[in-house]
Structure formats: structure tokens, C-alpha cells
Chain A
Amino acid sequence: MSDASSALPHAPAFDGRIRARTRSIVDFLKIAFESWSGAFGISILALIVVVAAFSPWITPYDPIANHFNAAGQLKRLEPPSAAHWLGTTYYGLDVLSQLIDGSRIVLIVGITCASFIAIIGTNVGLIAGYCGGRVDAVLMRITGLAFGIPFIPFAVVLVALLGPSLWNMILTISLLMWRTTARVIRSQVLSLRERAFVKAAKIAGASDVRIIYVHIFPNVLPMTLLYVAFDIAWAVLAEASISFLGFGDPNQVSWGQMLYLAYVSGSIRQAWWWTIPPGLGLSLFVISVFLVGRQYEKLASPRLR
């Protein structure tokens, strides 16, 4: 008969899943909250998204309206006050309204560019990695070219040729920044295509196109999405850089443009209320994207050995 003392110290139940499977949005978000950095990151991102979505309704003033004081003079470079929480710019515009309005660009540029980059980069990576041979060589040459071209001079030239508009900026950013995604996806595909399930699909009669998009693509999708996250941050920084150099869209309020105007008007040293908010905004955005991205990156490696 069995001995009661041979019973084990009670091991708590283990749910048996080594890798968290994200089947629902809730699970997806829960992962971000697993660490302080992730929670911080996603909170900031959520804040920016909400602000950008509701910006037309929450700006205290029209972002491009000039403000005059009682004497009829332009309220230039006023420090923060009750009427203007973040003060005014050199041109008498309310900084807070500009800040809120500028968040829209962050999202628009970020998401649009990241989507284009994902589409171009993933497809290049898939096709180059799977086909190999000459196709691979040609595509990698093009990718190498994209790596070789320096971003700012290229952007400057393109904007000078096509004119400074939001779409031209998105185009410029997307035309170059797919290169990293392409390389990363390609190396994943190189190892995936040797796996037995790809062989099995081939033997069953699947065409190459089917194998690439139906069999291999779902397996590189997590990596694509991860890079999409980082690309959002890079795209936003790229836009800010172009705008800061004065090549941005003059009709759009953006954080980079705010910094540009502060610089150009000579007030960059004194008007801290004008420069710190957009600068901080950009920094926080990029940091948050990286923090959240890092949390999801941990998904790629198994937790238990």
C-alpha cells in the first residue's frame, strides 16, 4: 500500500503552455503589461493615439491662429500662463494646440510608412529568400543600394525635386527604409525553406507562389509585425528630421516643424516651452515604441529553455 509520506510537496498547477499564444487582442495587450517598461510604453502610445484621434476637439485653440494681446500686439514667445498652458511661439501661435495637432502627423506618417515598408520589405525578403540564385542576387543588390544611400541627402534631393508635401515625405521614407526588413525576412526565409513542411507542400504539388505566401509568409509574419513596430518609430524620426531641416510640409503642423521654426526664429535657446514639448514628445514616442516592441520580441524566444 502507498505511504502517505511519499506524497510530493504540492506543485502548483502549470497551465502547460510554454509559449503564450495570442489568440485575442486582450492577450496581445496583456503581454505589454507584463513589465513596468512595457506598461509605461503602451500607456504613452495609448495616450498619443487618443490625443491624435480626438485632436480637433481637444485643442484649446486653432493651431494656426495667431493670438494678439489686449494692445493688439502679437503675443510673441510668451512663457506658459493660464491662457496658454505651454506658452506661445515666435509667431503668436499656441504651443499646446500645435503639440496636440502635431501628434496626428506622428500617427499618419508612422503607420503609413510602416505599412509601406512592411509590404515592400517583406515581399522582397520572401522572394529573394525563397527563389535564391539570380533573383536573390538582383534583389539583394537593390537592397544593398538602399543601404548605401544616405537618408537625409536623399530626402532633401527628392523633396527638392517633387516639392515638400506630406505624401512626398511618406514616399521618401518608404523608398529607403524597407531595406532592413527585407534582409531580416530573407534570412528567416532561408532557414524556413529547408524545413520539412515546405518540402511536403512541394511534394503535394504546391506552386512556388503558393508556398511563399500560404506556407512561409505566416511564419515570418510575427517578425514582420515586430519590425513594423520599430519602423513606425524610425519613420517618425525620419519625418521629424526632414522637417527640422526645413524640408517638411509647410502646411502641416508637426513636431519636427515646431523645432524647425523655433530654430529658424532664433528662439531655440530661450523658449524652452516651445522646444521641450515637441522634443520630449518625439523622444517619448520612440522610447515607448521600442519598449513595447521589446516585450513582443520576448515572445519570439521560448520562456522555458
Chain B
Amino acid sequence: MTSQPSIVSFRDVRKHFVPRGSMFGKAPRVRAVDGVTFSIARGRVLGIAGESGSGKSTLANLLVGLERATSGEIEVDGQVMTATPDRGLRRAVQMVFQDPFASLNPRFTVARSVEEPLLIHGLGTTVERRTQAIAALEKAELRPGLAFMSRYPHELSGGQRQRVAIARAVILNPKLLVADEPVSMLDVSVRAGILRLLRRLVTEQHMAMVFITHDLSIVAHICDELAVMYRGRIVEKGPVRDVLRTPAHPYTQALIDAVPIPDPAAVVRDLPAKLLAGFGDAPAALGCPFAPRCIHAVPQCEASDPPQSSVAPSHLTACIRALELRRAAQ
């Protein structure tokens, strides 16, 4: 897809949890991430969209080395991600969290929080660290940086806290930034600013970003590529505008149809009953995980795992009827 070498690659990664305290008999393993493959190049943003239970949080944890994959390979910056990532990997991958308040230590000043990664890795003298911290804050559009250094998180607004968290994340010049729903807890009127900031940093710092969200409406404003996850698998992946305009997977289509339209004059499409029922059932061991809720499902769907097939250049989907449905729609 891109001629640039990828900085992150996931190959058939799986993360299964065995619920603790399962007594007699086999408790079904929770397949949080079930065979995910993708790669990202520097300067590019991959969006991971999914609802609760899709496995996107586990994916985030795998990316930053907080969880170890059950099987499959994770490579970041040429190194394989292991259970205990070494210092080099720790500097290469950073994360921005959903809750800006919880992601900052309430007892630390802004200066202390932003300098902490430098302290952990023993970089720079006291003066150098301070200078770098101020520079990082200004990069995050908190100007003048000096004025923010001695403030505490509870004195800042949500948007400002998130910028501090972003400054902290980029101060080590990471190669990969994982943003886990970074704007969903912010007021709507400040979201666009944060999204633009992240996009700008991706370009300026020449890093890759994985942008995790449940809100399909913002992905087009920050992502180059979009992957839609359902029950631990990527069901569709492709250039963001292609996926949004001409979704190939029935689940993606359902997600797009479900989004409320800010235009009162628009006509709302009703969701099929089959989609709404069957929610929360444990997925079958074999076959497409979406089949029980899919209006286009045929017996073949539940018989075997659907392979990733191409519906357009760089646009993949895990649906055996994708091409057929697309042709029928035209």
C-alpha cells in the first residue's frame, strides 16, 4: 500500500483471556483480540473504530506493551514487542488516554508530569529538562509554556489537561503514539483543536499514530486509514474516505447508519431488527463473528472464518459476500 517501511506491524496477533475462577468444565476463553494484522508507516494515522467489546482497548494495551500477546508477532521500530519491553521500546511508544484528568498525577505539577519521562530515562540536566518541558508544552499549543509549568491539573480545563498529556507523550520523540479515545471526554467545541494538534504532531515529529475511537464521525478528520473492529477481529480496513463512503462490510454500514445526523431534515434509516437482537451473545467458535446479527448472512458465513478479501485497491474486508453486495447495490 505504501512504499514507506512500516514502523509498526501486527501479524495475526491474538490475545485470549481465560476468566479467573472458572470452576469445573471449560469456561470459554475471552478472545479479546482474535487474529489482527496491520501495519503503519511513519507520518500516517491508522484509525481503529469499534464499540465496546470490539477489543480495541486490548489492542491498545498490546501496542504499548502493557499486555503480552497470546500468539502472533508485534514489531515496533524493528524490535519485537515482548512481555517486558526494554528501555528503547518504552521510548518509542507512548500513549494519550481518554480521561485527561485521570491521566495526570493530581499531586504533580504540570512541569513534573511532563518532565517525568525524561527523569525516568535519566536524560538531561535539571535546566535542560525544564527547557525541554517548556518546549513540549508550547508544541502542544499551551503558550506561554512557562506559565503552565507550576499549575496543577485541577486548575486546568479538560482541553488543557489533554494538551499537557500530549506534551508528556511527545517529549521523548516517540515513533508511535497510541491515542485511546483522546477527545471523547472533552467538550465538543475543543475537540477539533486537539485533533488538529495530533495531526500536526504526527507530521512534525514524523511519527505513526493509532487513533482508537468509537465515534466514526471524527475519523475522517484525523485518520488516513480506518480499520473497523468487531469482536476482536478487523472486519474492514482501507483508506478512511473509501470505508466511510462505500463501506464493504455490513457491520460498518450499520455503524454508519446508526450515527445521528446533525441535520434535522435528513431521513433516518431504521436499523434491522436482526442487528439489534442477538447482542451480547458469546460468539461462536467458528465463522464470521457478526453472522448472527447480519441481515445478509448465509449458512456459509457461520461455517468458516471469512478471509480478508479485497473490494478495491487497499480496501480489505472480511466478508464473503462483500463484492456481491457491492455489485448488487450499483
Contacts and interface: CB of A to CB of B under 8 A. Distances in A.
Contacts of B108: 218
B95 A205 contact: no
A204 B117 contact: yes
21 contacts: A19-B154, A195-B102, A196-B97, A196-B98, A196-B102, A197-B102, A197-B103, A197-B106, A197-B113, A200-B95, A200-B103, A203-B66, A204-B90, A204-B117, A204-B120, A204-B168, A205-B87, A205-B90, A205-B121, A210-B120, A218-B108
Nearest to A198: B105
Residue among B65, B107, B108 with the highest chain A CB neighbour number at 10 A: B107
Interface string B81-123: 0000001001101110111001111111000010011001100
B202 interface: no
Nearest to A206: B120
Interface in A161-198: 195-197
Contacts of B49: none
Nearest to A219: B107
Nearest to B154: A19
A264 interface: no
A259 to B, nearest CB: 44
A84 interface: no
A215 interface: yes
Contacts of A218: 105, 107-108
Contacts of A221: 107
A202 interface: yes
A201 B168 CA distance: 10
A199 interface: yes
Residue in B91, B95, B99 whose Cβ sees the most chain A Cβ within 10 Å: B95
A286 to B, nearest CB: 31
A302 to B, nearest CB: 10
Contacts of A199: 66, 95, 97, 103
B183 interface: no
A299 to B, nearest CB: 14
A200 B108 CA distance: 13
A203 B90 contact: yes
Contacts of B94: 203-204
B116 A204 contact: yes
Given A201-B116, A204-B94, 10 more contacts: A19-B154, A196-B103, A197-B105, A200-B165, A200-B168, A204-B116, A204-B120, A204-B172, A205-B117, A219-B107
Contacts of A195: 102
B229 interface: no
B323 to A, nearest CB: 41
B210 interface: no
A219 B87 CA distance: 26
A259 B165 CA distance: 60
Interface in B118-163: 120-121, 154
A206 B87 CA distance: 9
A219 B165 CA distance: 19
Interface in A220-239: 221
Contacts of A204: 90, 94, 116-117, 120, 168, 172
B321 to A, nearest CB: 40
Given A204-B90, A205-B87, A205-B90, A219 B103 contact: no
